[in-house]
Amino acid sequence: MPAIRFDGQAVVVTGAGRGLGAAYARLIAARGGAVVVHDAGVAQDGSGFDPSVADGVVAEIAAKGGTAAACYENLEDPAAGQRIVDFALTRFGHLDALVHNAGLVVFANLEETTPAVWDRMIAIGVDAAFHLARAAVPHMRRQSYGRIVLTTSGRAMRVEDCVPGLVAYSTAKMAQVGLMVGLAAELADTDIRVNAISPVAATRVLRRQAPELLPDLVAPAVAFLASQACTTSGAVLNAAGGRFSAGWWNRAEVVDLGSTASPEEIAAHWRRFMAPAAKPE
């Protein structure tokens, strides 16, 4: 397998000042990419502003001979996505890959999820992804190439993997799967590939007492999805501690109950509906 490189490419990574995003930015830069390190430097609750967070990663990349530039836009602003893309184009002349990693977690049960909390979670988790893609895709179309990597979460995809207090978070993360599918279908006749990463890592966002779940062990998955080597579109790549698996929506076996189907027949066949269909050889 040829080495995966990003020489001559410009890549935007949002939320790249810490944790997973910083790991993604460092790896892509180490493989020759010019990276826009985006991070508003907010606190865990989304408050504040600290440009040194993004600046620190840029300095680290530069010290190792890489190329990077810091961008500090607040993704709660609907216009921020366009400004981030414009920044990349002004600084590097083109945009070849977009990795939307930035996110926010506010633990709150349904009753505690106020309209203000909901709006903030949706602005960053859903709206920002849309605005970034809408700004990036026209440029990718013009250059006949692009890669977009969105971010979902196992917390959103399986009840068994979720915990109480993540209604807004789960909604935002699954919305990015829908955005991925819609974009992948719309861009199917181009060389713009759209996929999603579902990472598990010990970070400040969803803290885990698991030092083996290093962000650096997720970064190779994102580097692959953001590269020319990835020719798939519409898949979710799960990554945790060096373990990887791809996932996508899979229908169960179709059961034909005819035009007179009753609720009782649905109940009788429920287990059959829930069993995954056999995959073709």
What is the set of active-site residues? 169
Count the neighbouring beta carbons within 10 Å of the beta carbon of residue 179. Answer: 20
> Taking the mean position of all CA atoms in its chain, how far away is CA 16?
12
Closest CA to 124 of 73, 184, 90: 73
3-class SS letters over 102-122:
CCCCCCECCCCCCHHHHHHHH
Distances, alpha carbon 255 to alpha carbons 161, 206, 249, 266, 277, in Å:
29, 40, 18, 10, 11
Buried-state track 3-18, b at ≥16 Cβ within 10 A, e below 16 = ebbbeebbbbbbbbbb
Q: Which 8-state DSSP code applies to residue 216?
A: G
Q: State the chain's maximal CA–CA distance in angstroms.
A: 70
Q: End-to-end distance of the chain based on CA atoms, in angstroms?
A: 25
